[in-house]
């Protein structure tokens, strides 16, 4: 019997208990152990809940109980999750988490503590919700040199951009509707400004490099400036606009960013719609592979946490190898990263734009402006030229 404790009885935590109960037989068979939830930690009481009797308010009960071997940390945020996770790992209890903030900020330290105490710190649910991506990175792709990861890692923004694309709607209107339907948070900043996707690509980049990629070093731009007009241009070019989180090994070093990008209709990420997430990985032997599914939601995320619990139960007293050193990776100066840009300019800026950027084709979907695609250039070069073009309305990066 493996006793499990769940920290945080919110959406994901209650999902973990539900998954463990609903799929009990199969889960126990696969774990080769009987798993039982002994405690649920939450500040609140849950009168009438079938697990009411397991709810406790004092973390010490759990942390000091030698019978508890696995802890599901579904609290979110840094504290007290960080302190509880460290204490648990230091006493040899494995921790399975959905907490991307904590994993992105302290992953390598928590992995080291797990190794020092012959237990595990597993975080499948921290990226892409229910999509298995951490385990493929850590088990299935171990023969690969991974040189590129591009993900749609945020369901809220993908839902908003999909609606804008399909319905020609404006950002603010779709956001409001998404909030009313409960798809977007009342405070949507972490999603729409790209911070959530940034934490997730920091985790994947760290697994790709084996070293610590600090999320604070990743250039991050959200979707709040994307307009219905931008989508009219995208359509005219057979493209769409997606919030992409990417990490690439370039000849100049590692580049990571989160930004809205134009992608072509034949790009595998083009067809990832609505709340779905996908991660497109390139390895030097395998080539391209893509992982697709529900990137958020109670049961998909809980399923990923429980898959980690099973892994912990299979490896009691042993640490599953995960290469993520505490040493940091220096990313290339974002200003020196290269790409093409799509630019919208007022008609009166045509001559100046031509002289500055030297394009031959223009895209016209509105009367008083035009759009064009630049050659590949650095961010710094683009900024310098754009600074000389006050008629510029907008620019979007292009992913090819
Ligand atoms: N807010 C996140 C999303 C939830 O929209 O994808 C999962 O991390």
Structure confidence by residue, pLDDT tens digits, 237-272: 999 999 999 999 999 899 999 999 999 999 999 999
Distance, CA 136 to ligand 1 centroid (Å)? Answer: 20
Residue 1 has pLDDT above 90, yes or no: yes
Ligand 1, from 159, 191, 197: best to mutate by most atoms within 8 Å of Cβ? 191
Residue 21 has pLDDT above 90, yes or no: yes
Q: Residue 40 has what pLDDT? A: 98
Residue 182 has pLDDT above 90, yes or no: no
The per-residue pLDDT for range 128-139, each reduced to its tens digit, is 999 999 999 999
Q: Give the atom of ligand 1 at the shortest distance from the alpha carbon of 185.
A: 1
End-to-end distance of the chain based on CA atoms, in angstroms?
51
Ligand 1, from 154, 157, 189, 203: best to mutate by most atoms within 8 Å of Cβ? 154
Distance, CA 310 to ligand 1 centroid (Å)? Answer: 24
For 86, list phi and psi in degrees, rounded to 5.
-60, -45
Residue 140 has pLDDT above 90, yes or no: yes
Distance, CA 342 to ligand 1 centroid (Å)? Answer: 28
CA angle 173, 178, 281 (to 5 degrees): 110
The per-residue pLDDT for range 308-323, each reduced to its tens digit, is 999 999 999 999 999 9
Distance, CA 290 to ligand 1 centroid (Å)? Answer: 19
Compute the chain's Rg from CA coordinates.
23
**Mean pLDDT calculated for residue range 337-361:** 97
| Six-digit token string for 260 | 């809205």
Q: Kindly list the catalytic residues.
A: 200
Q: Residue 220 has what pLDDT? A: 98
Pairing of strands 253-264, 392-398: parallel
Structure confidence at residue 181 as a pLDDT band (50, 70, 90): confident
Q: Give the atom of ligand 1 at the shortest distance from the alpha carbon of 159.
A: 5
**Mean pLDDT calculated for residue range 71-79:** 97
The per-residue pLDDT for range 281-318, each reduced to its tens digit, is 999 999 999 999 999 999 999 999 999 999 999 999 99
Q: Give the atom of ligand 1 at the shortest distance from the alpha carbon of 200.
A: 8
Beta bridge partners of 168: none
Average pLDDT, the chain: 97
Measured CA distances, 256 to 16, 220, 246, 331, 381 (Å) = 32, 9, 5, 7, 19
Which residue has the CA at smallest separation from atom 2 of ligand 1? Answer: 154
pTM here? 0.97
Residue 183 has pLDDT above 90, yes or no: no
Structure confidence at residue 108 as a pLDDT band (50, 70, 90): very high
Q: Which residues line ligand 1 (CB under 6 A)?
A: 129, 154-156, 191, 196, 295-296
- Nearest CA to 10 out of 36, 58, 46, 35 is that of 46
Measured CA distances, 385 to 347, 358, 363 (Å) = 17, 11, 20
């Amino acid at each position: 019997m493996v006793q499990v404790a769940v920290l945080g009885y919110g959406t994901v935590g209650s999902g973990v208990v539900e998954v463990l109960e609903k799929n009990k037989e199969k889960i126990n068979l696969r774990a080769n152990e009987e798993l039982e939830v002994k405690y649920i930690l939450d500040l609140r009481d849950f009168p009438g809940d079938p697990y009411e009797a397991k709810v406790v308010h004092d973390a010490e009960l759990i942390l000091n109980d030698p019978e508890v071997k696995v802890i599901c940390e579904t609290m979110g945020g840094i504290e007290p999750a960080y302190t509880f996770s460290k204490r648990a790992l230091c006493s040899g209890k494995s921790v399975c988490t959905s907490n991307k903030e904590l994993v992105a900020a302290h992953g390598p330290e928590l992995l080291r503590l797990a190794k020092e105490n012959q237990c595990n710190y597993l975080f499948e649910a921290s990226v892409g919700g229910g999509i298995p991506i951490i385990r493929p990175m850590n088990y299935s792709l171990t023969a690969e040199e991974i040189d590129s990861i591009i993900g749609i890692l945020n369901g809220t923004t993908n839902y908003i951009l999909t609606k804008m694309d399909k319905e020609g709607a404006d950002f603010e209107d779709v956001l409001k509707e998404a909030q009313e339907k409960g798809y977007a948070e009342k405070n949507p900043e972490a999603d729409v400004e790209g911070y959530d996707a940034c934490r997730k690509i920091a985790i994947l980049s760290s697994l790709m490099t084996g070293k610590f990629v600090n999320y604070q070093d990743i250039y991050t731009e959200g979707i709040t400036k994307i307009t219905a007009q931008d989508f009219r241009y995208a359509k005219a070019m057979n493209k769409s606009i997606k919030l992409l989180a990417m990490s690439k090994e370039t000849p100049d070093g590692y580049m990571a960013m989160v930004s809205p990008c134009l992608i072509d209709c034949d790009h595998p990420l083009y067809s990832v719609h609505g709340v779905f997430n996908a991660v497109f990985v390139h390895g030097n032997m395998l080539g391209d592979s893509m992982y697709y599914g529900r990137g958020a939601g109670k049961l998909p995320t809980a399923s990923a946490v429980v898959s980690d619990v099973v892994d912990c139960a299979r490896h009691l007293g042993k640490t599953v190898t995960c290469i993520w050193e505490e040493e940091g990776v220096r990313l290339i100066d974002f200003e020196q990263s290269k790409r093409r840009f799509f630019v919208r300019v007022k008609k009166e800026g045509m001559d100046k734009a031509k002289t500055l950027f030297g394009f031959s084709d223009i895209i016209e979907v509105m009367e008083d402006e035009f759009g064009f695609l630049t050659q590949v250039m650095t961010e710094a070069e683009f900024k310098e030229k754009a600074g000389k073009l006050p008629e510029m309305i907008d620019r979007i990066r292009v992913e090819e």
